[in-house]
A = this chain, B = another copy of it.
């Protein structure tokens, strides 16, 4: 079933202990759509500047991704520069140039109207709400956000939260949003704000899925080397939503499987810089890593 994502497309400059890259294509909608495209056709709504070339668009076109919703406007594309040190759990932002992203007004192409699944990437909650309201008959809607909106626009965020089925968020943000340190309490509190399903990303420790009826916790895969954590969270969300859209199944067991696919995709993302690894996946690699995670977490009663 068609999956639509609205979010950012950016040029990232990234420095980690394993190397550095300059102005590679990144952004939440990019990582999300590439990851989800391994499961289902994806449609993207975003904005780029005149410096975003046909070659750059080619990244989306090599995958089953409809990029007609990536609007190209006068000006420069969003740029982000970051550095990871030590255990690489947290990026240090060195520079942010919003450029055309500062005036982003999502425009939804008519061909996107029949989308069944919607992911509202981490953008201004006022824009998230506008996009959400344009799709009254979705199978499922999901949202990501961050500390900047949680602290800066709590009322606007509350409005859009009340309209979505799923919140995909990291652990620190879940605690900040709920005002509770205990993760179980935090999740129950957030569920009262709207989303019945909550996926809490916990970095190398895996993820926890809270539904109305149960809780599912999965460990993180143990990786040989993390080269670049950029985009791992959006990639997780792409795998999660991509699998849900592919199967059209929102049952508890399938939400669990989707979370595992999210983690699998996130584990690929960090193995190389930028999108490199996500664009290079060979047939069977995703399933093999899914089974690896199954065997990693298997025990008998």
Contact = CB atoms under 8 A, between A and B. Distances in A.
Contacts of A216: 296-299
A80 B79 CA distance: 52
A283 interface: no
A220 B222 contact: no
Interface residues of A, number: 39
Interface in A208-237: 208, 214-220, 222-226
Contact of A220 (B182, B217, B223): B217
Contacts of A202: 205
A233 to B, nearest CB: 17
Given A181-B86, A208-B219, A294 B290 contact: no
A185 interface: yes
Contacts of A181: 86-87
A227 to B, nearest CB: 11
A256 interface: yes
A219 B217 contact: yes
A184 interface: yes
A222 B183 contact: yes
Nearest to A296: B217
A224 B184 contact: yes
B291 A301 contact: yes
A252 B301 CA distance: 14
A238 interface: no
Contacts of A226: 182
A280 interface: no
A253 B29 CA distance: 42
Contacts of A53: none
A206 B219 contact: yes
Contacts of A295: 214
Contacts of A214: 295
- The 4 lowest CB-CB distance pairs between A and B, nearest first, are A217-B219, A205-B205, A256-B299, A184-B222
26 contacts: A182-B225, A182-B226, A184-B222, A202-B205, A205-B205, A205-B219, A206-B219, A208-B219, A208-B222, A215-B222, A216-B297, A216-B299, A217-B220, A217-B296, A217-B297, A218-B297, A218-B299, A219-B219, A219-B297, A253-B299, A253-B300, A256-B299, A290-B301, A294-B299, A294-B301, A297-B299
